[in-house]
A and B are shown apart, each in its own frame.
Chain A
Amino acid sequence: MKYIPFLVLLLISILITSAMLLKKDDNNIQNYIIGTKISEFELPSLYEKDDKFNSKIFHSNGWKVLNVFASWCQQCKSEHKYLKKLSKIIPLYGIAYNDNPIKTKRFLDKMGNVYSSVGIDEHGNNAVLIGISGVPETYLIDGQGIIRFKYLGALDDKVLDDYIIPIIEEKKD
């Protein structure tokens, strides 16, 4: 009888620790937003020859990737080569978040433009509508405009191989 409280506390702590250790999910993967439709928004395009950058792009046929970046963001540089890799498989769309258009252009000239079209959200006015909390951020969106995957932070080989590429290949079948 004397030891029961001990045992109960021990059991609870073992349960909690094992739950923490067994948790495999990457914290940067945002599950709550999967399955919701992307909100309606309209942004000016970075390159004037393009049409307006709005949410209708994502309602037409085909899967697309939406990537949020900024020229002042260090991690966006490091994920650039993975975006290049991704752009060979699927069309990429970019949003320059909280960034001056001139600097964005310079950034893309320097790094190489991987996007089919780039929208500018210079003061972050549309960030909350879309669900942007910072840069970099990557969304995978299907032909109906439904978000199928969201990742916070810089992409790397692990994210591409474990999540994004399998999801894209699955829809082809």
Chain B
Amino acid sequence: MIILFLLLRRKKIKDTLKDIARDIRCLVCENQSILESDTDFAINIKNYILESLEKGLNRNEIIDFLSSRYGDFILLSPPVSKYTILLWVLPVIVFLFLLFIIINNKNNYLTKKETKQINIIKTDKKKFLVWSFLFSFLLVTAIYYNIGNWGMADYPQQKILYLDSKKNIDKLLYTARSWREIDEFESPRIVKINQQILSIDKNNVEANWFMAIHNLEIGNIDQAYKYYNSLINSINDLETKKVLVEQWKDLLNSKK
């Protein structure tokens, strides 16, 4: 019973976490929610939400705290306030205004039938104007309300992180390589992606080599040797083995 209760509680907390995370903007990404993102920032916020849910805080308290620390911009849909009221009301006003014009014009040419007959080309022009306004208005509102969602369309680099099959190792390796060109030091995200590669394929040469050097740098000699050994064991080609062993010796000497 107790286990069942705990499991249910756990599931409820996870659902609430997803529910909240969907509405929180990842500030360091381009228009993504933190639910879709794997950056350090998103992970920190998700951990914070999880902790406070376990403490018993509710959704509103968590969102209030987050917007007090990071501003209203962290909420994906802006709250109605005196600064954002125009954003919410403007489309409605424009719509009503255009509706007013359409109705007005209709009355004009229904009551004056003769003028309509005489100026048939003129009214056609008018109709065209009205319809084009209506259409452009709809287009503008559609853009206005969807522009936030369009940015979410495709994020290949982020999506790759969720895929765990051997096919995707090339993609992961490619991502790791391109990140290494951007970040000069071994940044946390590069370490993370290399650990991920190793969790799929623990004999991967490139990732093992990277982790060995990384652990040597931060002083975890035992860990470094662990990665180095699994690297050496997985290589069959003698020439490459020799080169790697020599490089490793050089590295060790330079550390001393």
Residue numbers of A with Cβ under 8 A of B are: 1-2, 4-5, 8, 12, 30-33, 36, 39, 71-74, 98-100, 102-103, 124-125, 127-131, 133-134
CB-contact partner of B69 in A8, A33, A100, under 8 A: A33
State whether A134 touches B41 (Cβ < 8 A).
yes
Known A5-B98, A103-B218, A133-B28: A72·B185 in contact at CB below 8 Å: yes
Our pick among A8, A72, A103, A133 for the contact of B70 (Cβ within 8 Å) is A133
Q: Which residues of B contact A99 (CB under 8 A)?
A: 188
CB neighbours of B28 from chain A (8 A)? 133-134
Cβ-closest chain A residue relative to B67: A32
B170 partner residues in chain A, CB cutoff 8 A: none
Would you mind naming 28 contact pairs between A and B with Cβ atoms under 8 Å apart?
Answer: A1-B104, A2-B129, A5-B101, A8-B97, A12-B90, A30-B71, A32-B67, A32-B68, A32-B70, A39-B69, A72-B184, A72-B186, A98-B188, A99-B188, A100-B218, A103-B217, A124-B43, A124-B44, A125-B47, A128-B45, A129-B48, A130-B69, A131-B69, A133-B28, A133-B41, A133-B70, A134-B40, A134-B41
Interface of B is mostly: helix
Q: What chain A residues lie within 8 Å of B237 (beta carbons)?
A: none
- How many B residues touch the partner, as a band? 20 to 34
B residues less than 8 Å from A102 (CB atoms) = 217-219
Q: Is the CB of B44 within 8 A of A128?
A: yes
Q: How far is the CB of B144 from chain A (nearest CB, A)?
A: 12
With an 8 A cutoff between CB atoms, is B133 at the interface? Answer: yes
